[in-house]
Chains A and B, each alone.
Chain A
Amino acid sequence: MPERVNYWGIPHEWGPPELYVYTIMFLAGFIMLFRFYKQASLWWKVGRPEPRWDKLHIRFWKFIQYAIVQTKVLNERYPGVMHVTIAWAYFIFFLGTALATIHDHFFEFLFGNALFAYKFVLDIFTVVFLVGAGMAIYRRYAQKPKRLTLDPGFTRSLVMVTVIVIGGLLTESFRLAVDQPAWAWSSPAGWIVAQLWIAIGASDTSLINWHLGIWTFHLLTVAGTIITLPVGTLLHGLTGPLNMFFAKLDRPTGELAPIPLTAAGDQVFASKLSDLTWKQLLDGDACTECGRCQDACPAYAAGTPLNPKELILSIRDALRADAAAVIGGNGDTPDSPTLVGDKIKEEVLWSCTTCGACVDVCPVLIEHVDTIVDMRRYLVMEGAIDAELQGALANLGRYGNSFGKSDRMRARWAKGVDPKIKDAGREPVDYLWFVGDYASYSPTLTEITQQTADVFQKADLDFGILYKGENHAGNDVRRVGEEGLFEMLVEKNLKALSRSDFKTIVTTDPHSYNALKHEYASNGNGEWHVLHYSQLLDQLIASGQIKFSKKLGYKVTYHDPCYLGRYNGIYDAPRRVIEATGCEIVEMPRNRDKGLCCGAGGGRIWMEEGEVTERPSESRIHEAVALNGVDIFVVACPKDITMYADAVKTTGQEENIVVKDLIELVHEAM
C-alpha cells in the first residue's frame, strides 16, 4: 500500500530534517509576523480609532466571498482568471502542507486513495498555477496595460512564487524518477517531468543529489518569500483580506459618515495622516496596484489630475515616509508632515465626481470616495475652493438653490399647470414630489418638468409639491465637503417635510433620491419611503394607471445615472418603462454598474472645469452614436439633460442623436 514518505532522500546525518525545517519555517514566520506587525501597527499608531469589529459573521462572509472566492477579482475575465489561478493554487499548497503536517504529527490519514487524491489535487494545482503565472507573465511583459504598475517589485514577487512552485515540482519529479512507483500517475505533472530524467538516463545518485539541492533551494525560497512578504508587493495577500474583513458595514455606499469627532468632541478634518482612521491607512497598504479604479474613473479618462489608484497609493507612501515623524511628534505639531495640498493636491480632490466607479471595481474594497470627501471637508473649512463653487455654495446657503434665485421662484414652472398642483405643505397628498433644483429652476428643463406633472395628473396620482418650502436636497453639497451647509439644508427640508402629510416621496433627481433615502433617515426621525420617478412610472404602468395609446418604435439607448444605478442598484425600472413605451433599447458597452459618469456629480457641476482632454459626457455621446441605428439618448436625471444636450453640441452630433428624458417618451406614448 502506498504511503507518504516524509523527507525522502534528505540525509539524517545533520539531525532529523523536521527539526531544521520547522526551525527555519518558524523563524521565517516569526520574522514575517514581526515585520508585518511593525507595518500594521502604524495604522493605529498614526491613524484615528474607528470601530470596525461589529457584525463579525458578515465580516467573515465578506472575507470568504472576496478574499477566498475572489468574486470581485473575477469581475474582469483575463486578470481575474490570472489572479485566482495563482491565488487558489497557493491556498491549495498551503492546505496541502498543513494536511501533511497533521498527518506527520497528529493523525495519519494520507495513505491509499486518500494519498492518491491528495497528490493528484496538489499536482493539478501546480499546473493551474503555471497557467496563471504564464498569463501574468504575458500580461506584464507583452500586454503591458497602462493601468498596471510595472515596477520591479512585482517582477520579483512573480519570480519568487513561480520559483517556489517549480522547485516543488522538480523535487517531486526527481523522487518519482528514482522510485518510479506504480502509483506515480497520481502525480501527473511530476511524473511527466520525471520522464525527462528517465529519458536522459540520469543516475540515481545524481538524481538524489539534485533532489537534495533543489529541495534545499525550495525550502529557502519559501522561507525567503515569507520573510520578505510584508515589505514586498505580496503584502496585499495579507492586507487585502484584512481590508475586506474590515470593510464598512454600518451604512450603504450612498450614505456618507458625518464629520468624525475626537474624544474631546472636536471635529476632525482630514489634512494630515493622523486625521485619517486606521482603516483609511489600511486602504493604502491594501491597494494591489491593479489599476482597475484608474480604468473606471471618468475623471482620469478626462485627463484631470485625479487617478484614484495614485490617490490611494499616496496615502500608503505618505505613511511609509512620515509615520515615524508623526509618531515622534505625537502627530499634532504644527510642522508635522501634511498630506492634503502637499502629497495629495487640491486639484486631485476636486476632480472627483463621486461616481463610485472606483469603489465598485476595487477588488479589495477600498473606500476612495469617503476619503476624498473627508479631505474635501478640510479644504472647505480652509475656504480653499474655486470661485464658481464658492458662488454656488453661497447661493445654496442663502436661497436654498444653486441658481441664486429667489425661493419664491422655485415653483414658477408650475404656473401654467392646470389644475394647480397641490401644496403638500397645506393639504395631505399620497405622493410628495420633491422637484429638485435643476428641474425647478433650469429654463431648459421647464417643459420636461411640466410634462412630468402632466403625466402624474393623467395617471390620477394624488400628489403635491412643497413650493418654496423645498430646498436643495444637499446630496452634492455633502459630497463637496460642505457638511455644515448640508446639515442646514437637511434641517430646512425636514422642517417642510414634517409639516406635510404624505405617504411617499417621489423625485426625478437621482441625487435628491440618494440623499432623501439614505442621508435624511439618519438625520430625521422618520424613515421616508422614497421612489425615483422611474420606479413610480414602472409601478403605474404595471397597475394600469398609465395607459399608452401608441408604441413609439424608437431605437434608443439608456444612460444609467451614477446615483440611481451604482449607488442604488436601480437598473431595471427605467428600462422597463422605456420598453413599455414601445422603444427598443440598445445598450452602450458601459452600462448598468459599469455606466460612465456624466461628469456632473459630487458638485463638479458647480466647479470650474479645469483642463480636460475629453469630457466624460462627450465620451459618452461618442459611445452612444457608435451604436447601430440609435438616435435617442434617454436619461433619467435632470442634470443629465443639461450635461448631454451640451455634449451633443460640443461633439457636433446634433444630426445623429437627441437627448430625451424618460418622461418625454412616456408623455409621447400616452
Chain B
Amino acid sequence: MTHILVTAKLVPDLVEELEIAESGTALDMTWLRLIINEFDDHAIEQAIILKERSGCEVTVIAPDQEGMDDVLFTAAAKGADRIIKLVGDFEEGVNNHALARTLAASTKEIGPDLILTGVQGNDDFDGSVGPYLAEYLGMTYVGYVAGVTLEGDKAIVHKEYPGGLIAELEVTLPAVLGIQAAEQPPRYVAVSKVRQMMKEASIDEVDVLDLDPSGGLEISSMYLPEAAERAEMLDGDEEEIAARLVEIFKEIGVV
C-alpha cells in the first residue's frame, strides 16, 4: 500500500492586520492569528482523495504551532491514518530551511512513498518547503501540481504552467510534490466529527531538539508597505522599456 506523507504548516491569517514586532525584523506574534496554509490544505485533500481512490495510507506531519492540534484532528477526521506533531521551538516561527531539515529527518524514519506539500505559503521568505525537502531527501520534486494518479511505483501528475498550460508527467516514487490545488476543493468536516476525533485519535509527538536555519535569509528589517507616490511609469515598446530599466538599475547601483 502506498504510504503518503503530507507536510503542513500554519501561516499568518491575513484577516487580521499584521503588525511588526519591536525587533523590526519579524511579525508581532501576539497579534497574529495562524491559519493552515491553504496549499497544505489542498495537499491533505489530495492525499485523502488518493486514499479513497487507491487505498493508500496517509500520514500528516506538522510543526507544533498554536492551533495545530485542531488542524491535525481535522485531517484525521477527513481520513488521515496517522497525525504527527513535531515538538520543538516553533512558536516564534522558523524559516523553511529549518523546517524542511526537521521534516526530512522524520521523513526518513517514516519512509513514505510519496510526499505531498503545499506548493507555497504566504510566509515563504526563503523559498518553499517542498524543494528543500526533496533536496535533503535526495528525491525528485515537481511543483505546481494539480492532480495526481498513482500507478504502481509511479505517479502521474498534472503540473500547471503559467498561461493555462498543463503538462502530464510521470514521476518515479518516492518523490515530493508541491500541490497547487487538489482535484476538488478541501472538503468540509463537521465540527462534531473533529471533536469526536479529539476524543478518539491521538497525535504522535516527535521531539525536535535543534533547528538549523542555515542557508536561509537574514531579515534585516521588516515594515508595512507605505503609501507613497514614488512609482515611475515607463512608457514605450518592450525594447525601450528594457533599455530604460537597465539604465535605472545602473543608476541606483544594483547592477
A residues in contact (CB < 8 Å) with B: 259, 267, 380-381, 383, 385, 387, 390, 393-394, 397-399, 404-406, 408, 482-485, 487-488
The answer on a CB contact under 8 Å between B15 and A483 is: no
Residue of B nearest to A485 (CB): B191
Q: Does A383 contact B15, Cβ atoms closer than 8 Å? A: no
Contact A483 B189 (CB under 8 A): no
Residues of chain B within 8 A of A267, CB atoms compared: 192
- Across the interface, do A404 and B190 meet the contact criterion of CB distance under 8 Å? no
A394 contacts B193, C-beta separation under 8 Å: no
Cα–Cα, bound, A487→B190 (Å): 12
User: Complex Cα distance A383/B192, Å?
Assistant: 12
| Total cross-chain contacts (CB, 8 A) | 42
Q: Show the binding face of B for A, using Cβ within 8 Å.
A: 15-17, 33, 35, 185, 187-195
* Complex alpha-carbon distance, A397 and B195, angstroms: 12
Is the Cβ of B188 less than 8 Å from the Cβ of A405? no
Report the minimum CB–CB distance from A105 to chain B (whole Å): 62
CA of A399 to CA of B16 in the docked complex: distance in angstroms?
11
Interfacial chain B residues near A387, Cβ < 8 Å: 185
Q: Which of B16, B33, B35, B190 contacts A383 (CB 8 A)?
A: B190
- Chain B residues positioned under 8 Å from A483 (CB to CB): 190, 192
26 pairs, A vs B, C-beta closer than 8 Å: A259-B192, A380-B188, A381-B190, A381-B192, A381-B193, A383-B187, A383-B188, A383-B189, A387-B185, A390-B185, A393-B188, A394-B188, A397-B191, A398-B35, A399-B15, A404-B15, A405-B15, A406-B16, A406-B17, A482-B191, A483-B190, A484-B194, A484-B195, A485-B190, A485-B191, A488-B191
Which B residue sits closest to A387, measured CB to CB?
B185
Contact B188–A385 (Cβ < 8 Å): yes
- Secondary structure at the B interface, as helix, strand, loop or mixed, is loop
Known interface pairs A381-B193, A398-B35, A484-B193. Does A408 touch B188 (Cβ–Cβ under 8 Å)? no
Contacts of B193 in A (CB 8 A): 381, 484
Instruction: Report the bound CA distance from A482 to B192 in whole Å.
Output: 8
Tell me the smallest distance from the CB of A523 to a CB of chain B, in Å: 15
Q: Contacts A380-B188, A406-B15, A408-B16 given; 11 further ones with Cβ under 8 A?
A: A259-B192, A383-B187, A383-B189, A383-B190, A387-B185, A399-B15, A483-B190, A484-B190, A484-B193, A484-B195, A487-B192
* Chain B residue at minimal CB-CB distance from A477: B191
Which residues of the partner chain B approach A394 to less than 8 Å between Cβ atoms? 188
B74's nearest neighbour on chain A, judged by CB, is: A397
A294 to B35, CA, bound (A): 45
Question: In whole angstroms, what is the CA distance A485 to B195 when docked?
Answer: 10
CB distance from A474 to the nearest CB of B (A): 11
> With a CB–CB cut-off of 8 A, which chain B residues contact A399?
15
- Cβ B191 vs Cβ A390 within 8 A: no
Q: Which residues of A contact B190 (CB under 8 A)?
A: 380-381, 383, 482-485
Residues of A within 8 A of B195 (CB): 484
Q: Is the CB of B191 within 8 A of A484?
A: yes
B173 → chain A closest CB, angstroms: 29
Most buried by B among A393, A482, A484: A484
CB distance from B219 to the nearest CB of A (A): 25
Residues of A within 8 A of B192 (CB): 259, 267, 381, 483-484, 487
Q: How far is the CB of B36 from chain A (nearest CB, A)?
A: 10
A-side contacts of B187, CB under 8 Å: 383
Query: Which residues of the other chain, A, contact B15 by a CB distance below 8 angstroms?
Result: 399, 404-406
The complex places the Cα of A331 from the Cα of B139 at a distance, in Å, of 50
Task: Given A399-B15, A406-B15, check contact A390 B188 (CB 8 Å).
Answer: yes
CB B201 to nearest CB in A, in angstroms, measures: 16
The complex places the Cα of A405 from the Cα of B190 at a distance, in Å, of: 21
Nearest A residue to B191 by beta-carbon distance? A484
- B15, B185, B187, B194 — which one has the most chain A CB atoms within 10 A of its CB? B15
Minimum distance in angstroms from B15 CB to a CB of chain A: 5
Select from chain B the residue with minimum beta-carbon distance to A393.
B188
Write the chain A residue with the least CB distance to B184.
A387
Note all chain A residues with C-beta closer than 8 A to B191.
397, 482, 484-485, 487-488
What distance in Å separates the Cβ of A465 from its nearest Cβ neighbour in chain B?
A: 21
CB-nearest residue of chain B relative to A396?
B191
Residue of A nearest to B17 (CB): A406
Looking at the assembled complex, report how far the CB atom of A64 sits from the nearest CB atom of chain B, in whole angstroms: 41
Minimum CB–CB distance for B178 against chain A, Å? 24
**Complex alpha-carbon distance, A394 and B16, angstroms:** 16
Q: With both chains docked as a complex, state the minimum distance between the C-beta of A381 and any C-beta of chain B, in angstroms.
A: 5
Chain A to chain B: the 8 pairs with minimum beta-carbon distance, closest first: A484-B192, A484-B191, A485-B191, A383-B187, A390-B188, A383-B188, A406-B15, A381-B190
Complex Cα distance A406/B194, Å?
A: 23
Nearest CB on A from B227, distance (A): 21
- Cα A263 to Cα B193 with chains together (Å): 20
Q: Which residues of B contact A393 (CB under 8 A)?
A: 188
Report which residue of B16, B17, B185, B188 has the largest number of chain A beta carbons within 10 angstroms of its beta carbon: B188
Q: Within the complex, what minimum Cβ distance (angstroms) separates B120 from chain A?
A: 21
Residues of A within 8 A of B17 (CB): 406
* CB proximity of B251 to chain A, nearest CB, Å: 43
Give CA–CA (A436, B17) in the complex, Å: 23
Instruction: Report the Cα distance A399→B14, complex, angstroms.
Output: 12
- A405–B33 Cα gap in the complex (Å)? 12
A406 and B193 CA atoms in complex are apart in Å by 25
Chain B hits for A259, CB < 8 A = 192
Nearest CB to that of A403 among chain B residues?
B15
Q: Which residues of A contact B35 (CB under 8 A)?
A: 398
A376 to chain B, nearest CB (A): 11
Report A-chain residues with C-beta under 8 Å of the C-beta of B16. Answer: 406, 408
Q: Which residues of A contact B188 (CB under 8 A)?
A: 380, 383, 385, 390, 393-394
Q: When chains A and B are docked, how far (Å) is the Cα of A483 from the Cα of B196?
A: 13
User: In the complex, which residue of chain B has the Cβ closest to the Cβ of A409?
Assistant: B15
Expressed in whole angstroms, the Cα–Cα distance for A601 and B194 within the complex equals: 26
Give Cα distance in the complex from A484 to B191, angstroms.
Answer: 5
Cβ of A488 to closest chain B Cβ, rounded Å: 6
Residue ID in chain B nearest A385 by CB atoms? B188
Chain B residues, Cβ within 8 Å of A485: 190-191
Q: Give the complex CA separation of A483 and B190 in angstroms.
A: 8
Name the CB-closest residue of B to A267.
B192
Bound-complex Cα distance A267 to B195 (A): 13
Q: Which residues of B contact A488 (CB under 8 A)?
A: 191
CB distance from B51 to the nearest CB of A (A): 15
CB distance from A606 to the nearest CB of B (A): 12
Residue among B33, B192, B193 with the most chain A CB within 10 A? B192
